[in-house]
Amino acid sequence: MSDADARTGRAGSNTDVDAVVVGAGFSGLYMLHRLRERGYDVQVYEKGDGVGGTWYWNTYPGARCDSESHIYCYSFSDEIRETWEWTERYPEQPEILEYLNYVADELDLRRDIAFEREVESATYDEDAGTWTVALADGEVVETRFFITGVGCLSEPFKPDFDGLDEFEGEWHHTSRWPDEGVDFSDKHVGVIGTGSTGIQFISETGGKAEHLTVFQRTPNYAVPARNRPLEDDEYEEIRANYDEIWEKARDSRLGMPFDHEHYSAASLSEEEIRETLEDRWQQGGFRFLHAFEPGHVLTNMEVNAVVSEFIREKIRAKVDDPETAEKLVPSDHPYGAKRPPMDYNDYYRTYNRDDVSLVDVSDDGEPIERVTARGIQTTADEYDLDVIVFATGFDAMTGAILAMDIEGRDGLTMQEKWADGPRTYLGLMTRGFPNLFTITGPQSPSVLTNMPLSIEQHVEWIEDCIGYMDEHGHDTIEPTEASETQWVTNTNMLADNMLFSEADSWYRGDNVPGKTAVFTPFPGGLDMYRDICDRVARDDYDGFEFSDAADAPLPEQ
Ligand code: NA7
């Protein structure tokens, strides 16, 4: 029995722990810290052998975060932010991993994390109001709360090409990179995919392999990140203004503390828009999307057309061969309809190298037919390769949750419930699965924002909610049917009014064959979303229903 049970006399205290949290990335670490501080028994299960989540798994060459380092971290601890110092404007994967290890040590989190332990299933017991969590190694644990911190981009997606098992070289998915690394120096390397990951990998590997062949299905709009070391005085200024920085970030749509040059571009001439964009292009990164209120760029087709064309011209200017340049220029979707990638190492100029070539594998080019013993066979040619790299992304947003067999009330599985797309209230809970919380779950702002801030907002909301339940003697919580339906409708309506339907993207699950295409993150902005969540909590968790433990026997004191 935990301290919290002793204080409140909660039912459900016969469970092994109060809460099971899945995953030891940004989400799981903070959830553990908050609940433990409040006196709950928490057990975290992590598939990997270390903390870090996304940053534990994605160790491919060039892996880096495209949020600026001073805001891609926790805001809750003055001590951590005073003692940790980022070295570059955008943090590289090893540095983020080091940071999360530092946090785990500082907060003494490891003692409640079981590593190399994979959660296979979770089954709700209606009579007891508890969850039975089964691990891949056969252990079974009873818990009152089941909380997923599995990340939005953690279940790798790899296209099912015929012939891969006949390939005589080696192949890797970027998010399952071998610990010992891969030596490309005398190898012919083929990479499939030009999303954020592919762009990082290609920029980093171009020039380091004997030859790099890029198989591109859809070109992307990569905006320069303008990475650089953080100078000491710059860092001092950040530290001196951190409270203000975080406040501004929390109050923004993207969870980033950037000012807009203008709220709207609608009243500006095309020349004024272009001047603003040029200035932001020089600043780099997501500041470019913030030239105007980001929601505005994603709702106004005319403004978006100017922004998209501005980037196209930049691409053409960087690539020497006009034919290659045209292949790299996106024309099938507006900027921002897919997740905008960043360019750290002059990505487009990589294609000016003799040892880098581009193959258009779209339907208008030469689609990949199969993998052969020697390499990749397209409809036009066979490309000899020693290594194939799949930078083909993830079964995003729902993949890692659905990879566990989760069974709620009356035998309803999560796979059944979400067969036509996820149904949640606030992206935090789904009806029929009481006491199951999803940190940065589908239909919350998550991937459209600076993730650590969205994670903190969710974790703190969940902690408050659990505390409220115990203060009021509530046993379980779940959304009402009506609130869930309304939330799904609202999320879809907001997305329909934006440009997201203009592209096939992982935001909508289009990248995974057979997956129902539904826009999944909440697109109204972190600021609006936070207000809604705060109001719901203030109004005694309006839209949720509780079951009470009044009749349950009190635990032994
Ligand atoms: P993404 O953004 O999903 O990119 C995957 C890439 O792989 C994309 O270019 C795809 O082309 C390509 N792809 C996928 N399947 C195929 C097949 N069958 N043939 C050819 N090309 C294919 O994943 P990332 O890992 O780059 O980024 C995910 C997020 O992680 C990123 O947005 C950041 O938020 C961090 P397509 O565009 O579908 O034509």
- pLDDT digit string, tens, across residues 306-329: 999 999 999 999 999 999 999 999
Residue closest via CA to ligand 1's atom 37 equals 218
Average pLDDT over residues 35-49: 98
DSSP string, 30-63: HHHHHHHHTT--EEEEESSSSS-THHHH--STT-
How close is the Cα of 466 to the center of ligand 1, in Å?
38
**Over the stretch 206-220, which tens digit does the pLDDT of each residue have?**
999 999 999 999 999
Helices first, then strands: H and E counts in the chain:
17, 20
256-266 pLDDT, tens digit each? 999 887 777 87
Between the alpha carbon of residue 206 and those of residues 170, 328, 459, the distances in Å are 18, 16, 40
**Whether the CB of 285 sits within 6 Å of ligand 1:** no
pLDDT, position 8: 43
Percent of all residues in the chain with a pLDDT value above 90, rounded to a whole number: 90
CB 23 within 8 A of CB 30: no
Out of 70-79, 85-94, 291-300, 368-377, pick the least confident: 291-300
385 token code pair: 């390769």
Can you give the pLDDT at residue 128?
A: 94
Asked if 72 and 453 touch (Cβ cutoff 8 Å), the reply is no
Average pLDDT over residues 203-208: 97
- pLDDT value for 270: 86
**pLDDT at residue 6 above 50?**
no
Say yes or no to pLDDT of 343 above 90: yes
Q: Whose CA is nearest to atom 28 of ligand 1?
A: 393
- Give kind and range of the element (H or E) at residue 306: helix 301-318
Separation of CA 193 and ligand 1 centre (Å): 5
- Measure 216 CA to ligand 1 centroid, in angstroms: 9
How much is the average pLDDT of 343-355?
Answer: 97
Torsion of CA 101, 105, 111, 115, to 10 degrees: 10
Task: Tell me the pLDDT band of 1, cut-offs 50, 70 and 90.
Answer: very low
User: pTM, whole model, 2 decimals?
Assistant: 0.96
pLDDT value of position 377: 98
Is 194 near ligand 1, meaning CB less than 6 Å away? Answer: yes
**Does 81 score more than 50 pLDDT?**
yes
Task: Calculate the average pLDDT of the chain.
Answer: 94
Separation of CA 439 and ligand 1 centre (Å): 24
Q: For ligand 1, what atom is nearest to the CA of residue 192?
A: 21
Question: What angle separates helix 242-250 from helix 232-240, to the nearest 10 degrees?
Answer: 70
Flag whether pLDDT at 268 surpasses 90: no
How confident is residue 556, by pLDDT bands cut at 50, 70 and 90?
very low
Pick the atom of ligand 1 nearest to 506's CA: 3
Report the DSSP beta bridge partners of residue 531: none
- The whole-number pLDDT of residue 263 equals 74
Identify the burial level of 233 via C-beta atoms within 10 angstroms of its C-beta, where 0-12 means exposed, 13-18 middle and 19 or more buried: exposed
Q: What is the pLDDT of residues 425-471, one digit of tens each?
A: 999 999 999 999 999 999 999 999 999 999 999 999 999 999 999 99
* pLDDT (average), residues 37-58: 98
| pLDDT at position 554 over 50 | no
CA–CA separation, 196 vs 270, rounded Å? 29
Residue 153 in contact with ligand 1 by CB distance below 6 A: yes
The pLDDT of residue 551 is 47
Q: Which residue has the tokens 């040059």?
A: 261
What pLDDT, on a 0 to 100 scale, did the predictor assign at position 549?
A: 60
* Largest Cα span, the chain: 77
Return the ∠ at Cα 88 (arms to 85 and 91), rounded to 5°.
85
Is-contact 361 351, C-beta < 8 A?
Answer: no
Q: Minimum mean pLDDT among 134-143, 229-238, 500-509, 546-555: which range?
A: 546-555
